[in-house]
Amino acid sequence: MQRNVFCLVVALATLSAPARADSLKVMSAGSLRAGLTDLLHRFPLQSDTVDPPEFGSSGLMRQKIENGAAADIFTSADMEQPRRLAAGHPERMVIHFARNSMCALARPNLGLTQANFLDRLLDPMVRIATSTPGSDPLGTYSWEVFARADALKPGARATLEAKAKKLVGGGEKTPPLVPGKGAVEGIFLSDQADVMLIYCSAVPALQSEMPSLTSIKLPATLTVEPADGLVILDSKPVALRFVAFVMSEQGQAILASHGFEPVASVAPARP
């Protein structure tokens, strides 16, 4: 929290600095595409410009930056990737800017509910799709859900990990299954799985494309709480101002409109 406050103070201080035109380059997790695009669109630029943002799996994008890709800010679906980019660079600040939650997207014939969720996943006939652990936080979060299942049913973790098909999030290793369609859409359109663990923020857009699919929020005994983080790679004024905008009431409201849970907004006072 203190680092967040310090970052905002520095960012706000730049507002009074002499104006100079600069460009902002953001690299980001694909799961943040809609929210981040909206933030960049509404960001008061002043005399600055915004380069087209680049999206992909968090772990793979982090590797691109490590290999020399230029970026001012990197936003991730977890805290681990930003922290790795900040390791050994005390000038780089890591900030937790939003939360997400875990849902399951499924074919309607599964009759999926919170009560029968684990039993359905363990059914030998039910096919499970996940993202790729390590290269994509969604896959890592999915594996954490499997680990929690072991506390409820010993052996469940090994069964679920063996069943899960890592069909997205691996870059060139997991190309889209249906040309012209999103990666998750392709999984269901090509009949590769019956259920997939997904960020709840992504569910509305996916169901608008595939209205026959059902969704549930994961039961409290199994769920994990994804935390979205960013790292400031270049402390140029426009980058600091953008981070201040993300953490502002307006920025947090924009994220909330895209299904994320704000971490820096004040709840309305109760009557």
10-residue mean pLDDT series, the chain (271 residues): 48 50 92 96 89 93 95 97 96 96 96 96 96 92 96 96 91 76 90 96 93 96 96 96 96 95 71 47
Label residue 148 exposed, middle or buried (CB < 10 Å: 0-12, 13-18, 19+): middle
DSSP state of 29: E
Query: pLDDT value at position 5?
Result: 47
The owner of tokens 């980019």 is 85
Query: pLDDT value at position 121?
Result: 97
Query: pLDDT value at position 10?
Result: 54
Indicate the helix (H) or strand (E) that contains 56. strand 54-56
Query: pLDDT value at position 140?
Result: 95
Distance CA 138, CA 77 (A): 8
**The domain defined by 102-217 carries CATH number 3.40.190.10:** yes
Backbone angles phi, psi at 94, to 5 degrees: -105, 135
Helix (H, G, I), strand (E, B) or coil at 11: helix
Query: pLDDT value at position 19?
Result: 57
Tens of pLDDT, residue by residue over 146-176, are 999 999 999 999 999 999 999 988 777 777 7
Q: Strands 23-24, 49-50: parallel, antiparallel or unpaired by DSSP?
A: parallel
Tens of pLDDT, residue by residue over 187-210, are 999 999 999 999 999 999 999 999
Query: pLDDT value at position 180?
Result: 78
94: nearest Cα among 254, 243, 218: 243
The owner of tokens 């201040």 is 244
Helix ranges, the chain (H): 2-13, 33-42, 58-66, 80-86, 117-122, 137-152, 156-163, 183-189, 203-209, 237-247, 249-257
Half-sphere exposure of 261 (CA within 13 A, CB side): 9
User: Which two tokens mark 195?
Assistant: 């259920």
Query: pLDDT value at position 268?
Result: 56
Domain range summary for the chain, segments of one domain joined by +: 2-99+227-262, 102-217
Distance of CA 147 to the CA centre of its chain: 20
Q: Would the CATH topology of 2-99+227-262 be identical to that of 102-217?
A: yes
Sequence-distant (≥ 6) Cβ neighbours of residue 144 within 8 angstroms: 224
Whole-angstrom Cα Rg for the chain = 20
pTM of the model: 0.87
Query: pLDDT value at position 271?
Result: 47
**The domain defined by 2-99+227-262 carries CATH number 3.20.20.330:** no
